[in-house]
Amino acid sequence: MKLLFLAPLSPQTGNHTTADRIRSHIESAGHTCELRDAGEFQSPADVANLVSQDPPFEGVLAIHLFKAGRLLLDVQIPFGLIFGGTDINEDVKDEQKRVVMKQVLLRARFAVAFTEKLKEEAELFLVSQSAKIYVQPQGVQTEVTEEFCWTEFLHSSGVRNKCVDKLRVFLLVCGLRRVKDPLYLVEVFSDWHCKNLLNILVIIGPKIDPVLTAEVEAAVSRTTGVFLAQERSQPELHAAMKRCFALVNSSVSEGMSGAILEAMDLRVPVLARDIPGNAAVVQHEANGLLYSSPQEFVHQSQRLLSDQELRERVVRNGKRYVDEHHSLKQERETYQQLADTLNSS
């Protein structure tokens, strides 16, 4: 079967990583799956023209109910959807977007939510069709490059401390866009760094929003203890994660943070902002730590620094959680089965 796969595909983002992984699942079942950036298309007519080309596509898969899903309203072939997170958490608040999303979901053959909470939100705001919405957590796959140099990584990020091995690096992995709120912790972290120079925050991710990127760069340039790293390949990013003291998430909303799951898989402690998408994954003091204010972030970080038993527990339970609930094999089987439904009458 020939499938078109639409998704927002900014480089080095969670959506891109997820789309690549799901595409590989579908292609491993013998299908052809062409991944395209939803941003390439101006209207539903553009996608309708594409899928009707010879040889025609037989089905469509899309990530993000609004950004990609709105482009499917003119296609005459079966399609399925994967919720992106911001579509259900943020876009539903916009009445015009919500109307479009309802139309798309009603026409979809199936939809996939990463969590039960996301499914419940979709049913509440969009349409109550439980049988159509499947819950499949993201599968986790980490790969650490052997050539990675920690000292070079920190130096290239602007870190000039000579005692690199003694630094406690808090790594904030996020694309620079508003929903990730990369400036949320900058001021309080800088104050904390001034009291203990070994604690530093490194922000790493693609520069998606030019205006916000300029704000982050300006904030970092005038702040001590906070640094901005250039985006890296997944294996290099995973290597940086493995060397850091803790993985940080400061998002306003999340569907399911791939970076959190990858950190758990790599046995790295997680400090995540207490929002529904994160709380669905991180159980406070069990497999990670949650915080609801910048000041509480510092408090939880200090606990992680001083309580070795707590650190060992969240790392151990984080790895166990990923192994038990985010199986790559289960994810592969789910998407292969769902792809097959696009080929049935």
Residue 53: HSE in the Cβ half-sphere, 13 Å Cα cutoff? 9
* Common-topology check for domains 2-139+327-341 and 150-325: yes
Spatial CA neighbour of 304 closest among 294, 319, 295, 315: 315
89 by Cβ neighbours in 10 Å (0-12 / 13-18 / 19+) ranks as buried
Closest CA to 134 of 147, 115, 153, 106: 115
pLDDT at res. 130: 67
pLDDT at 1: 92
The span from the CA of 116 to the CA of 102, in Å, is 19
pLDDT of residue 128: 65
pLDDT at 121: 86
Domain ranges of the chain: 2-139+327-341, 150-325
2-139+327-341 is a CATH 3.40.50.620 domain: no
pLDDT of residue 146: 87
As given in the structure block, the two tokens for residue 316 are 């151990």
How far apart CA 256 and CA 117 sit, in angstroms, is 11
Could you tell me if 200 and 168 are in contact, meaning their C-beta atoms sit under 8 angstroms apart?
yes
What is the amino acid identity at position 46?
D
Residue type, 161: N
Q: Tens of pLDDT along 4-37?
A: 999 988 765 667 888 999 999 999 999 999 999 9
Half-sphere CA count of 253, side-chain side, radius 13 A: 15
HSE-CB at 210 with a 13 A cutoff on CA atoms is: 0
Q: Could you tell me which CATH class the domain 150-325 is placed in?
A: alpha beta
All residues at 6 or more sequence positions from 201 whose CB lies less than 8 Å from its CB, including other chains: 169, 170, 172, 185, 186, 189, 193, 225, 226, 227, 248
d(CA 139, CA 334): 11
Q: What is the pLDDT along the chain (345 residues), one digit of tens a residue?
A: 999 999 988 765 667 888 999 999 999 999 999 999 999 999 999 999 999 988 999 999 999 999 999 999 999 999 999 998 888 888 888 999 999 999 999 999 999 999 888 898 888 877 766 678 999 999 998 999 988 999 999 999 999 877 888 999 999 999 999 999 999 999 999 999 999 999 999 999 999 899 999 999 999 999 999 999 998 999 999 999 999 999 999 999 888 899 999 999 999 999 999 998 899 999 999 999 999 999 999 999 999 999 999 999 999 999 999 999 999 999 999 999 999 999 865
Per-residue pLDDT, 344? 65
Q: Which two tokens stand for residue 166?
A: 């003694």
Cα–Cα distance measured from residue 76 to residue 243, given in angstroms and rounded to the nearest whole number: 49
Q: From the CA atom positions of the chain, what is the Rg in Å?
A: 21
